[in-house]
Amino acid sequence: MDTLPSLDELESAAALVRAAMPPTPQYAWPLLARRLGAEVWVKHENHTPTGAFKVRGGLVYLDGLARREPRCPGIVSATRGNHGQSLAFAARRVGVPVTIVVPRGNSVEKNAAMRAFGAELVEHGEDFQDASEHAAWLAAERGLHRVPSFHRDLVRGVATYWLELFRAVPELDIAFVPIGLGSGLCGALAAREALGARVRIVGVVSAHAPAYARSIAAGRPVDAPVSTRIADGMACRVADPTALSLMLGHVDEVIEVDDDEVERAMKALYVDTHNVAEGAGAAALAAAMRLARERPEAIRGRRIGVTLCGGNVDHGAFARVLLDTALD
């Protein structure tokens, strides 16, 4: 994958996604505008059938796989939750068995959702990288198709929500995009390029999982330890080289947010919009809040877009955030 997907590729992906789910809404919330001093548009990917943006990529990938390998005996992949739900949801539509590997201690409720969508769940390792390596072993051992965490079809799929947002709000000044393995950010970059939009795109990483921030700064993959307690969807220890190559020279800025900032953003989203966000799902707002606090001139009076890219947080963790987190 040397280039970002074209507009034709994104439009064909959008048709596949629309066959399974309607477009998600985007709203400008006045309380968020008051909080940040900017017009804040939230793209509600927490309203998809799996509660997160990843389902779009799964639908496009499984459609392609069904045509490339019509007798596929099954698929296997690794996840912290949303990618696995995406694949289970999409694979059920084409009748392909799914095995998903998660690290030990993964979200109880994300695990339950993956099983409910029909996945066989395997718990292995201490982090995503351990789970990913075990998924590769299972693929060889069982003769399964291994679905990667980054692939052109996944990017094409998730880019469709950026097409929706950039068309609905064409005059956005800044869009904030969390980085897990990179499909979300590359999807935003692809949609911007395909539409010729002039929006500034800011990548967001967890300060407790800074592999992509360090890799973008260095211009090459740099591994980094993971210690986030809340942003499991951003808990990446190893940057994907292909994703990184597409980001370099295209992403305008990268902001790191710590767990406390993410939790404040989770609470702000609930207080100001009454939407539930998981840690990674609130990271975009966390970065916008940091910018408003540290460089208010960069955001004041602007029209910004933040993705609420997932709402799949365990209820106990969310209750703790609401009860224990103080807002400014």
Within 13 Å and on the Cβ side, how many CA atoms surround 82?
Answer: 33
How confident is the model at residue 328, as a pLDDT? 77
Let me know: does 134 contact 78? Beta carbons within 8 Å: yes
Let me know: does 308 contact 179? Beta carbons within 8 Å: no
How confident is the model at residue 327, as a pLDDT? 93
Residue ranges per domain, the chain?
7-53+152-324, 54-146
- Residue 277 has a CB neighbour count (10 Å cut-off) of 31
Instruction: Give dist(CA 235, CA 206) in Å, integer.
Output: 8
How confident is the model at residue 114, as a pLDDT? 95
As given in the structure block, the two tokens for residue 88 are 């289970």
Find where tokens 């496009």 sit. Answer: 60
CATH topology of domain 7-53+152-324: Rossmann fold (3.40.50)
How confident is the model at residue 81, as a pLDDT? 84
How confident is the model at residue 128, as a pLDDT? 84
CA neighbor of 258 nearest in space, from 299, 216, 293: 293
Cα-based distances in Å from 238 to 59, 80, 259, 266, 310: 25, 14, 20, 26, 22
Is the domain 54-146 a CATH 3.20.20.140 member? no
How confident is the model at residue 72, as a pLDDT? 94
Instruction: Give dist(CA 18, CA 225) in Å, integer.
Output: 38
- Residues of the chain with pLDDT > 70, as a percent, come to 100
Which residue positions in the chain have pLDDT lower than 50?
none
The residues that bridge with 143 in the sheet, in sequence order, are: none
Same-fold call for 7-53+152-324 versus 54-146: yes
How confident is the model at residue 168, as a pLDDT? 98
How confident is the model at residue 2, as a pLDDT? 83
As given in the structure block, the two tokens for residue 7 are 């507009």
- Residue 45 has a CB neighbour count (10 Å cut-off) of 28
